[in-house]
Structure 1
Amino acid sequence: MKFPARRRGGVPDDMKDNTMAVTETLNEGLKRAYQLIITAQELDDKVSEKLTEARPEIEMKGFRKGKVPLPLLRKQFGQRLLGEAMQEQIDAVMNAHFEESGDRPAMQPQVKMTNEDWKEGDDVHVEMSYEKLPEIPEVDFSKIELERLVVKAGDAEIDEALASLAENAQNFEDRKKGSKAKDGDQVVLDFTGRVDGEAFDGGAAEDFPLVLGSGQFIPGFEEQLVGVKAGEEKDVNVTFPAEYGAAELAGKEAVFACTIKAVKEPKAAAIDDELAKRFGAEDLAQLKSQVAERLEAEYTGAARAVIKRALLDNLDDSVSFELPQMLVEAEANQIAHQLWHDEHPEEHGHNHGEIETTDEHTKLAERRVKLGLLLAEIGRKAEVEVTDAEMTQAIMNQARQYPGQERAFFDFVNQNAEVRQQIQAPIFEDKVVDLIFDGAKVSEKEVSKDELEKAVEALDEE
């Protein structure tokens, strides 16, 4: 037997004249606490109401459908419905309270039953406590003055980028006979690796092209080949890392017998139409145009980070309101936890004991909470929304990080509200920031690439 689902989140018609006792027990800053009393009669009436609603659909042996006596239904199902009725009464009075008071809880309200020795037939005493969101002052965007840095992609910057592309597209040419290999050279070699005198799977290759300093082989291998010559034989002694993927080799000492076939020096590709074609352009002129566009997009992105920080600093300095301490504490704990993991990258789990928060963590948390609440309120009043198309695009961008698993990533995001919120939050923030930029006084200042880089570096120093 299934009872009809009750709607949650609104105030049912039968609760609008609710006489449940609600007594304020705390009103201190943003903190609020109330005592709610649900009478035994209210609970009993709610159970009767639920049984009456469900009765027409109930079938029971010995009775026609819809004709089972209420006392019998109460005896069989009343106990189960009592807890449901209690929760609905509490939800309804909480919703009514928030609708009437206008309070918006900063976090999920804490609700607990205070008469722990409760038994059926007793009134229910409940304590509800929360911190409400503060009143956030209006911000006059027109009084905000900001400076946007502008960098043009000049010939020098374009030539530098082209030189980098040419270097990445480098070829290797044989060095003069008898030349010693240098870091960055390509060494072509045959090798066979042995552990305790025995060759192992995957430990041998022929004509393998290895760029010294690339970090392609295990630590210590490439360094020992610096100085070798074509035709030389050399034993390379290394120790496999303790965390090496093949467990049978992890931590073991190995000797690689190497025969050097060739030593080649890097030669950057010529900056010409052929290079352009290697990067998908029709000719060098088109490649230069594409490079200029990419550079200016990078400069624009960097300049946005600088002006956005200036805006947030302005708002942090000029706007003041009380902060919900529960939010600040939660954010400070998150910051401390993240920084601890940044300092201990080898620790992937959470079995590391308690991490203490410092005054520095709390100060940063206060800034983040303040700016988060302020931007959220500005966006709410301006009815800023993240569209489905924007969310889809953002999810697609992240899905590209998992080649071949894009569909699984989409499904994961769609099934995880917290992950969706993490993706949506920065999009919403940027739209609110753009809204403020539109209303602020923004001047432009043309600077060099070096000046922009220094401004970006300064962001990490603050």
Structure 2
Amino acid sequence: MEIKSNKINGANAQIEATISIDEVNANIEKIAKQLSKTANVQGFRKGKVPVAIIKKQYGEKLVEDAEAEALREVLAKGLEELSIDNASLIGEPTISKFDKSDDKIEVAIKVAMRPQIDLADVKSLVPDFKKPEVTDKEVEERIKEIAENQAPLVDIKRNRKMKEGDTAVIDFEGFIGGEAFEGGAAENFELKLGSGQFIPGFEDQLIGVKRDEEVTINVTFPENYGSDTLAGKDAEFKVKVNGVKVKDDVVIDDELAKKLLPGEEDATLDKLKEEVKKALEQEKLTKLYNEELKPKLLEILVEKIDFDLPEFVVDQEIDMAVNKKASQMSEDEIKELRENPEKLEELRESFRDDAMKSVKATFIIDALAQELGVKVEEQEVMQTIYFEAMQTGQDPQKAYEHYKDAGYLPAIQMSMVEDKVLTTLLNEKVEA
């Protein structure tokens, strides 16, 4: 067996070998002898089956197993020559050449290794930024907003025209083509004008209406409305205004602070301001991270950290991009790609740069997660999906099962790891 091993770069290697047919035949003999001790063949006792019978019965399968064993030997010796251990391999080795003749088999095996990434200077790559500041005015406005949200609704004393921000207490019934439709009626429903809770145009037509007045409101259900029987339909609503409510006046003082800080001993307005300021600072910092710094940091890491990429991983990323593009193509366009290999290769190459950046980012985040001790357990992924589902009014369990069945959980988990890694690096910059 002649073996020639070549380390192409830090992430890819190729092992070439010439296997003689004598070696394959020797493997056939060895495998057949082993089978003769365990095989069940009619007319022979177990363990007493002649080798010649085994060869006749298993024929081509013996040859395939013998060749596979020879390939395994080529791989093992090649990796030993290259000083590559199995733990550093990524994916399955790829047989790129298998030329069989009467007296030999010429093979080439490609292997990919986990790239070695130098993270020594990674903290110096984190961009400089200033921690967002919060003004006293912003704190006061937020406390006022919280206080107003906490305040109870009260009926207005004088019968004035309604304006945006008022809460209308209404009876209504909806009709399409003169006929009432299911779910289109309610009594004493409290609707805050300007909230966008109802169909577009409904709330606008209540502005200027007074208590005890009756009006007819004409609207059109959106084309993407949840109900197929209502989507895109013109509707008429008979509406009676039973009352108008506004938020009661609130006093911003220590008593309010005690209500809003129930776990705090000796809660005061000054303490409330401190807590609100901290919350606003965190909100601003999170917004800065998500909208500007995290994308910028990841781009810098991909640009500045240099290492070799496993070819097959990049090819897989390109395959996914091509498949996604193909799903948006017409049958004629797909046919043209099938009949024109050069055009298909051109399409594949158009995705290479983005694929390489994506793969590089994945390896960098993975290496940083290990370096920083960042982990995201499946329970955390589940909690995140549950929370987002509840925020959008979905069934949390069904949402989780949907993502799981579709195979999205690993991608969600990786996205969460990426978010944690970038946040950790940015937080260290803030604290430095």
Whether the TM-score (by the shorter chain) exceeds 0.5 is yes
More displaced stretch, 40-49 vs 164-173: 40-49
Give unmatched runs, 5+ long, in structure 2. 334-343
Q: Which amino acid aligns with 2:205?
A: Q
Q: How does 1:160-175 map to 2 (within 5 A)?
A: 160-175=141-156
| Residues 75-99 of structure 1 deviation map (CA, whole Å, 9 limit, x = unaligned) | 3345445545544543553354345
**8 Å Cα contact 1:20-1:37 kept in structure 2:** yes
More displaced stretch, 87-96 vs 298-307: 298-307
Choose between structure 1 and 2: higher helix proportion: 2
Given the alignment of the two structures, is residue 199 of structure 1 paired with residue 199 of structure 2, yes or no? Answer: no
**8 Å Cα contact 1:177-1:230 kept in structure 2:** no
Q: How does 1:223-262 map to 2 (within 5 A)?
A: 223-262=204-243
Q: How does 1:49-60 map to 2 (within 5 A)?
A: 49-53=30-34, 55-60=36-41
Aligned to 1:420: 410
Aligned to 2:167: 186
Distance 1:323 1:279, change over 3 A: same
Return the match for 2:95 from 106, 111, 122: 111
| Residues 114-156 of structure 1 deviation map (CA, whole Å, 9 limit, x = unaligned) | 54xx69x875544444677766556346866864634576755
**8 Å Cα contact 1:141-1:436 kept in structure 2:** no
Distance 1:150 1:386, change over 3 A: closer
For residues 72 and 108 of structure 2, the distance between their equivalents in structure 1, rounded to whole angstroms, comes to: 13
For residues 228 and 211 of structure 1, the distance between their equivalents in structure 2, rounded to whole angstroms, comes to: 14
**8 Å Cα contact 2:289-2:423 kept in structure 1:** no
Given the alignment of the two structures, is residue 218 of structure 1 paired with residue 218 of structure 2, yes or no? Answer: no
How far has the Cα of 1:266 moved from its partner? Answer: 4.0
Q: Which amino acid aligns with 2:381?
A: I
Aligned to 2:377: 391
For residues 8 and 168 of structure 2, the distance between their equivalents in structure 1, rounded to whole angstroms, comes to: 75
**8 Å Cα contact 2:3-2:17 kept in structure 1:** yes
Q: How does 1:77-116 map to 2 (within 5 A)?
A: 77-80=58-61, 82-83=63-64, 86-87=67-68, 89-91=70-72, 93-94=74-75, 96-101=77-82, 110-112=94-96, 114-115=98-99
How far has the Cα of 1:183 moved from its partner? Answer: 2.4
For residues 125 and 349 of structure 2, the distance between their equivalents in structure 1, rounded to whole angstroms, comes to: 30
The count of residues paired between Structure 1 and Structure 2 equals 406
Q: Which amino acid aligns with 1:427?
A: V
Aligned to 2:340: none
| Residues 421-456 of structure 1 deviation map (CA, whole Å, 9 limit, x = unaligned) | 651565378559858987xxx6869xxxxxxxxxxx
How far has the Cα of 1:371 moved from its partner? Answer: 5.1
Distance 1:60 1:207, change over 3 A: same
For residues 241 and 433 of structure 1, the distance between their equivalents in structure 2, rounded to whole angstroms, comes to: 40
How far has the Cα of 1:194 moved from its partner? Answer: 1.6
Aligned to 1:294: 279
For residues 48 and 268 of structure 1, the distance between their equivalents in structure 2, rounded to whole angstroms, comes to: 95
For residues 349 and 142 of structure 2, the distance between their equivalents in structure 1, rounded to whole angstroms, comes to: 44
Q: Percent identity?
A: 29
Q: Which amino acid aligns with 2:276?
A: V
**8 Å Cα contact 2:378-2:413 kept in structure 1:** no
**8 Å Cα contact 2:10-2:115 kept in structure 1:** no
Q: Which amino acid aligns with 1:423?
A: Q
How far has the Cα of 1:178 moved from its partner? Answer: 4.0
Distance 1:279 1:363, change over 3 A: farther
| Residues 46-84 of structure 1 deviation map (CA, whole Å, 9 limit, x = unaligned) | 455445445544444433333333333343345445545
How far has the Cα of 1:395 moved from its partner? Answer: 2.5
State TM-score, norm by structure 2: 0.68
For residues 163 and 92 of structure 1, the distance between their equivalents in structure 2, rounded to whole angstroms, comes to: 75
For residues 423 and 232 of structure 2, the distance between their equivalents in structure 1, rounded to whole angstroms, comes to: 52
SS of alignment partner, residue 377 of structure 2:
helix
Q: Which amino acid aligns with 1:111?
A: I
Return the match for 2:130 from 142, 149, 155: 149
**8 Å Cα contact 1:236-1:258 kept in structure 2:** yes
For residues 57 and 402 of structure 2, the distance between their equivalents in structure 1, rounded to whole angstroms, comes to: 42
For residues 378 and 279 of structure 2, the distance between their equivalents in structure 1, rounded to whole angstroms, comes to: 24
How far has the Cα of 1:379 moved from its partner? Answer: 6.4
Q: Which amino acid aligns with 2:384?
A: Q
Alignment root-mean-square deviation, CA: 5.1
Distance 1:396 1:335, change over 3 A: same
State TM-score, norm by structure 1: 0.65
Q: Which amino acid aligns with 1:207?
A: N
**8 Å Cα contact 1:146-1:443 kept in structure 2:** no
Distance 1:261 1:324, change over 3 A: same
For residues 283 and 424 of structure 2, the distance between their equivalents in structure 1, rounded to whole angstroms, comes to: 18
**8 Å Cα contact 1:148-1:304 kept in structure 2:** no
How far has the Cα of 1:310 moved from its partner? Answer: 7.2
Distance 1:125 1:371, change over 3 A: same
SS of alignment partner, residue 256 of structure 1:
strand
For residues 269 and 307 of structure 1, the distance between their equivalents in structure 2, rounded to whole angstroms, comes to: 39
SS of alignment partner, residue 276 of structure 2:
helix
For residues 357 and 267 of structure 1, the distance between their equivalents in structure 2, rounded to whole angstroms, comes to: 64
